[in-house]
Amino acid sequence: MAKGWDSRDNVRSKAGREKVRLKSARGRTNSSARWLQRQLNDPYVAEARRKGYRSRAAFKFEELDERYNLLKGAKRVVDLGCAPGGWCQVVVKRLGEKAEIVGIDLQEVEPIQGVTMLQMDFHALDAEERLMAELTGPVDLVMSDMANSATGHKSTDHMKTMALCEIALDFALKVLKPGGSFVAKVLQGGSDSVLRNRMNKHFKKVRHAKPPASRKESTEWYVVAEGFRKPDA
């Protein structure tokens, strides 16, 4: 486990238990059977159910926050691509309902107390305006777990995900307060030097991280940018 991560041994150690096996794969494709087998044996899935999180992805943000203190002192947070709501659940748990938390997703998301949910396409012309209308001031953290449906073609998936990261960054640069942070999903494969250079220009620290909850075989990483600086800073 990477140095600096708060220990998740109490979750991951459960992977060493006796594996659950499907009694029958009848009626399922090989891929769906493999997915179900993996879910049955994933300690993060079990822990998410125990904690009431809507998905195991909540632990990815928990771990990122534990390492980088992204929510320390935060009063306003925007979650781009928030479905099914796990990241927002973590924010509410750690900041309470007094913080302004706004989430947006193309899918309908079951309400979360303390979170303003917008169901719309972030690409829509009025998306930024509607998001900003829900905020009473500059934002402390913009986070994005947005991803396109996988095509199976690595370079295509990489480019599409990087494009989502670009538009998320564009929004963050408009709404973040000085010292604010930005975290977004990216995929391995191809150069992201242009994106990295933009972030280096506007943030004091820019790093890539793969939280322990992110599956080893997954190509996803997260870019974490801290210490937002205004263009004239």
Measured distance CA(203)–CA(221) in Å, rounded: 19
Backbone region of residue 144 per phi and psi (left: phi > 0; alpha: psi in -120 to 50; beta: other values): beta
Q: Measuring CA to CA, which residue among 68, 12, 31 is closest to residue 222?
A: 68
The one catalytic residue in 60, 160, 185, 210 is 185
Pull the structure tokens for residue 17. 């238990």
Measured distance CA(25)–CA(37) in Å, rounded: 10
User: Is residue 169 within 8 Å of residue 128, measured between CB atoms?
Assistant: no
Q: Measuring CA to CA, which residue among 200, 55, 64, 209 is closest to residue 141?
A: 64
Crossing angle of helices 193-202 and 154-175, rounded to 10°: 20
Measured distance CA(176)–CA(155) in Å, rounded: 31
Question: How many residues in total does the chain contain?
Answer: 233
Identify whether 185 is a catalytic site residue.
yes
CA angle 89, 221, 91 (to 5 degrees): 15
Measured distance CA(143)–CA(103) in Å, rounded: 10
Measured distance CA(229)–CA(232) in Å, rounded: 8
What residues act catalytically? 185
